[in-house]
Amino acid sequence: MAIDTAPAPARPTEAPQGRRKGGGNPSSLLTVLTWILALGFFSPVIWMVLTSFKQEAAAASSPPTFFFEPTLDQYRAVLAAGAGPYFLNSVIATGVSTVLVVVLAVPASYALSIRPVKKTQDVLFFFISTKMLPVVAVIMPIYVIAGQLNMLDNIWTLVILYTAMNLPIAVWMMRSFFQEVPAEVLEAAQMDGAGLLKTLRSVLMPMVAPGLAATALICVIFAWNEFFFALNLTAAKSATVPVFLVSQMTSEGLFLAKLSAASVLASLPVVLAGWIAQKQLVRGLSMGAVK
């Protein structure tokens, strides 16, 4: 009987993962989708910047004008409209309130994390519950109290309100950063004879500095962008940048290009602060994310 010695047909090799028929590279597709979404979210900002360099007629044209001769007339008009005092008020209200928030939040978050008090969770819930109250529900009592104290159209009224507004968020954030400090570090500081203030200043603060920078920057953003209190409690002397932006909108004439220029100027301080502190911001926001 003859024996069949023909070689067996070779098995088809399995296609490498990610190159199978009908499939693409998932990571590349995700990257492209991410860029499309990022450009979509950022496109209004790009359009605002471009509009700020247009003349009013070109800014209000329909269909939109994509090719135009850039001009700085709108920025000159914004500066000539007296934007300086508004920016100064925003700098004072934002800067002073942020410093006060940091000074108050550090010991409070230290007490709630490393030296917890009784019913810590109740204290934390009380802090965050203050953010659940609608601002419009408290504006009338605040207005009456500020009027009786002769503090209407006063920049320090905004400082107090912005401090109270940002303090609960700062306490919650700083508490999570303090919880990342190893207990062995505190025990070593105690064995070396360091007191509470020295431990907080020389040991803990350098370790949570990125988190402190992230907290401060978020407080700056919230205070700089706050509009409701500034609109209802200030007038000519203490109005801030958001109020100035609204004043650039008129019922007669064109204002879109000038409003865009004012918006770009109003955004620059926060953008520059975020760009300068971007490394600390990323490190601070990532603290506590992965155990």
pLDDT band with cut points at 50, 70 and 90 for residue 290: very low
Structure tokens at 114: 């490393």
pLDDT by residue (tens digit) across 25-40?
778 888 888 889 988 8
pLDDT at 217 over 50: yes
pLDDT band with cut points at 50, 70 and 90 for residue 142: very high
- Phi then psi for residue 262, to 5 deg, are -65, -35
Please provide the average confidence, as pLDDT, over all residues in the chain: 82
DSSP for the chain, please give it.
-----PPPPPPPPPPPTT-STT---HHHHHHHHHHHHHHHHHHHHHHHHHHHTS-HHHHT-SSPP-S-----HHHHHHHHTTHHHHHHHHHHHHHHHHHHHHHHHHHHHHHHHTS--TTHHHHHHHHHHTTSS-GGGTHHHHHHHHHHTT-TT-HHHHHHHHHHHHHHHHHHHHHHHHTTS-HHHHHHHHHTT--HHHIIIIIIHHHSHHHHHHHHHHHHHHHHH--HHHHHH--SSS--HHHHHHHT--SSS--HHHHHHHHHHHHHHHHHHHHHTHHHHHHHHHTTT--
**Which of 101, 106, 93, 122 shows the shortest CA–CA distance to 223?**
93
Region 146-171 average pLDDT: 92
Region 54-68 average pLDDT: 84
Of 16-20, 98-102, 119-123, 257-261, the range with the highest mean pLDDT is 98-102
pLDDT by residue (tens digit) across 236-250?
889 999 999 888 887
pLDDT by residue (tens digit) across 228-238?
999 999 988 89
- How high is the pLDDT of residue 10? 55
Contact by Cβ (8 Å): 59, 260: yes
pLDDT by residue (tens digit) across 194-211?
777 777 777 788 888 888
pLDDT band with cut points at 50, 70 and 90 for residue 141: very high
pLDDT band with cut points at 50, 70 and 90 for residue 1: very low
The predicted model scores a pTM of 0.79
- How high is the pLDDT of residue 291? 42
- How high is the pLDDT of residue 250? 76
- How high is the pLDDT of residue 94? 94
